[in-house]
Structure 1
Amino acid sequence: MKVLFKFVLLSAMLISFTGCQKSNEVAIYQLSNQSYSQMMSYIIEDEGTTIVVDGGTAEDEDNLIKTIKKVSKDRKVEAWFLTHYHKDHTGALAKYLQSGSNEIKIDKVYYNFPEESWVERNEPHRYEDVVAIDQGLKTFDNKEVVSFNQKITVGEDQIDVLRTYNPEITENAGNNSSSVYKMNVQGTKILFLGDLGVEGGEELLSLNKEAIKNMDYVQMAHHGQAGVNEDVYQVIDPKYCLWPTTDWLWKNEGKAYKTDETKKWVKALHVKKNYVADNGTVRIELKKKEK
């Protein structure tokens, strides 16, 4: 039975990374912004298998690479998943790939982006974002464009691609181009929504409603505000919520955002904990399967 809703102060969850490289840990790392910009960056470590989701802005690249080197066995990322092309999600990877650095090894990058011409037509102010990540990916050979309902195995983890960009959805174009990834990490189900908006969320329900039910963790869409509608979260019914949300956005400074509305939705679901990326890296330990 779920306990009463409670927001968690992440100051209690801040991690010292000294000597934390382990080959037997199973955990989610939620990174916080290194500049004023909102961003999204996750590392999943599963007993030596390392998965990255998005990575944040170019300003977040240094912290991201340092963190990967500290938590990943052999400084290697087995799979890097990108939800969509916006620079607050792809800027770090674009910068790293274009630098030619070999600080870490990346086995494979997975993504599904619109054509640059589509972005120029439907979201021209974000055209430079897609060009930057496309240029970065051109320097990297082992990449794959994911497809709807594709199943990907990384180590012992399974990733289901529950939704990819629909060129016919041009409202809130870039956010609604987000791919949705469901990860099963030793039995723990984690759903990544990227910046999915209202239209993309309704499409997700129509395409894969059963597949998103009863998640252990959900990454809150569009940094926890102005993302998918409440009905999507009601179906997901998560135990825990991952908020890739800056301090100013979490506090809804200026009251210009819809963060407070999303908080009310989550409160009604009685989730066990909310992990907010507003003050340093958070490590969330996951249960291991009995072997």
Structure 2
Amino acid sequence: MICKTGLLAILLPVLLAGSLTFPAAAEPGTETSYVESGQTLEQASRQGLREAASTPRAENPAGVSAPFMRSYDPAAGYTVIGRAGAVQTHTESIGLSDGASITMLKGTETGQQLCLVLSDGKGHLVIVDGGQKTNAGYLARYIKAHGGKVDAWLLTHPHSDHVGALAVMLEQQKSGGLSDYAGISMGEIYHSFAPMDFYQREEEAYRLPMIEEIYRDIADYDQTKVHYNAPAGTLLDIGGIHIEIMNQAYQFSVDSGNNSSIVYKITIGGKTLLVTGDLPYEAAEQLLRDRGAEALRADIVQMAHHGQHGGSPAFYQAVSPEYVLWPTHQALWAQVNDGFSEEQETYTIALTKHWIDGLSVRRNFVMAEGDWTLN
């Protein structure tokens, strides 16, 4: 087995000699821009406003960094308030069957998060993580606009950009606080976080308040709906969504929180999706050894740790995806000129783009561009 430094010693001359051909933005498709002004998505949809600005992406003069805006009639409930309040939605067909869809939400976030919403097209919703606390209101409105019922949450690890929104929603429902969060059926919660004393011992101090908060919130939730620490290989069927839990939390002393990420292999609409959370090199390589390359193979992969400091060349080669989800914000996505380090722990997004560019990937979907719905 080649060590990390040795691997890069082999790869580095090749990488530096070549050019990074990874696309800077998604290929032409369809986009929709809308601006919220106090309406829920459901209200906007009823009035037909959500689809008010569907245009070919090729007509967007500003690229991914500035949404293509059109004027809306303020009397109809929309006010153009600039880029900060704009939400772009994109829909792309990748051949899912039975009306199923996979949505990666950005909402109005400018930073990184992971929030995936899976629909089997028959009324069942599964949410992976949920994103930042500041995504809670947007996610709640999205859920209400799609029936108001979540069947299950699949949690990868207890960092704020993954479970913050869920913490807010659980707390608001418990306290009877803001009405935005009322009337949502929250469903089952599946998580396999490492023990609290592990995080207290190994994790950075600034992360502990969020970890302790989500532990409390889950402990306060209906325990008949909480499923903790399922063994690797556990299978779940939620309507037409089939889930395999690939591992239990690895307890590495380096990058401990991210290395405790749970990986889920999900079959939906006839295709497989591998959700990796923030899986770094150590856990990715361990999972590859534990489960083998064939078990990791999937049609779609979510790039670990938002596309940087995650996975490994061998891991992504084993997955061999056709489609790639990058839960990556604009500032990170734009770092194409980063150097390649000989230390695996400091792999940059430029290098992970290079890895993916070397695979037979048909399409990359980047959160920096807005919400993506694949069907």
Fold shared, TM-score > 0.5 on shorter chain: yes
The 8 Å contact of residues 99 and 269 in structure 2, kept in 1 or not, is answered as: no
| Residue aligning to 1:289 | none
Displacement of 1:137: 0.9
The 8 Å contact of residues 33 and 56 in structure 1, kept in 2 or not, is answered as: no
Q: Distance in 1 between matches of 2:24 and 2:364?
A: 5
| Residue aligning to 1:106 | 186
CA RMSD of aligned residues (A): 2.2
| Residue aligning to 1:260 | 350
Q: Which amino acid aligns with 2:246?
A: L
| Residue aligning to 1:83 | 156
Q: Superposed, which structure 2 residues align to 1:82-231 within 5 Å?
A: 82-100=155-173, 101-123=181-203, 124-141=205-222, 142-145=225-228, 146-167=230-251, 169-209=252-292, 210-213=294-297, 215-231=298-314
Displacement of 1:270: 2.6
Displacement of 1:282: 1.1
The 8 Å contact of residues 131 and 160 in structure 2, kept in 1 or not, is answered as: yes
| Residue aligning to 1:243 | 326
| Residue aligning to 1:9 | 26
Displacement of 1:118: 1.3
Q: Distance in 2 between matches of 1:7 and 1:212?
A: 27
Quick one: higher RCO (CA 8 Å, sep 6+), 1 or 2? 1
Deviations 1:220-248 (A, max 9, x none): 00001110111100010000000000011
121-130 vs 192-201, which moves further? 121-130
Q: Distance in 2 between matches of 1:253 and 1:270?
A: 20
Q: Distance in 2 between matches of 1:58 and 1:65?
A: 11
| Residue aligning to 2:101 | 27
**Taking structure 1 as reference, are residues 94 and 137 closer, same or farther at Cα in structure 2, changes over 3 Å only?**
same
The 8 Å contact of residues 51 and 80 in structure 1, kept in 2 or not, is answered as: yes
Displacement of 1:254: 8.2
Displacement of 1:157: 1.9
The 8 Å contact of residues 49 and 154 in structure 1, kept in 2 or not, is answered as: yes
Q: Which amino acid aligns with 2:325?
A: L
The 8 Å contact of residues 15 and 281 in structure 1, kept in 2 or not, is answered as: no
Structure 1: runs of 5+ lacking an equivalent: 286-291
Structure 2: runs of 5+ lacking an equivalent: 1-20, 34-40, 51-97, 174-180, 340-346
Q: Which amino acid aligns with 1:107?
A: G
* TM-score, scaled relative to structure 2: 0.69
**Taking structure 1 as reference, are residues 127 and 249 closer, same or farther at Cα in structure 2, changes over 3 Å only?**
same
Q: Distance in 2 between matches of 1:159 and 1:248?
A: 32
1:43 to 87, 95, 117: 117
Displacement of 1:12: 4.3
The 8 Å contact of residues 107 and 138 in structure 2, kept in 1 or not, is answered as: no
| Residue aligning to 1:68 | 143
Larger Rg: 2
**Taking structure 1 as reference, are residues 160 and 121 closer, same or farther at Cα in structure 2, changes over 3 Å only?**
same
SS of corresponding position for 1:53: strand
Query: Runs of 4+ in structure 1 displaced over 2 angstroms?
Result: 4-20, 33-37, 253-257
Q: Which amino acid aligns with 1:174?
A: G
Paired residues, what number? Answer: 275
Q: Distance in 1 between matches of 2:111 and 2:27?
A: 19
The 8 Å contact of residues 22 and 354 in structure 2, kept in 1 or not, is answered as: no
Displacement of 1:120: 1.3
SS of corresponding position for 1:223: helix
Q: Which amino acid aligns with 1:53?
A: V
128-137 vs 227-236, which moves further? 128-137
Displacement of 1:13: 4.5
**Taking structure 1 as reference, are residues 118 and 33 closer, same or farther at Cα in structure 2, changes over 3 Å only?**
farther
Displacement of 1:10: 7.6
Displacement of 1:92: 0.1
Displacement of 1:138: 2.0
Q: Distance in 2 between matches of 1:226 and 1:251?
A: 16
Q: Distance in 1 between matches of 2:254 and 2:153?
A: 27
The 8 Å contact of residues 276 and 303 in structure 2, kept in 1 or not, is answered as: yes
| Residue aligning to 1:284 | 374
Q: Which amino acid aligns with 2:194?
A: P
Q: Distance in 2 between matches of 1:46 and 1:190?
A: 13
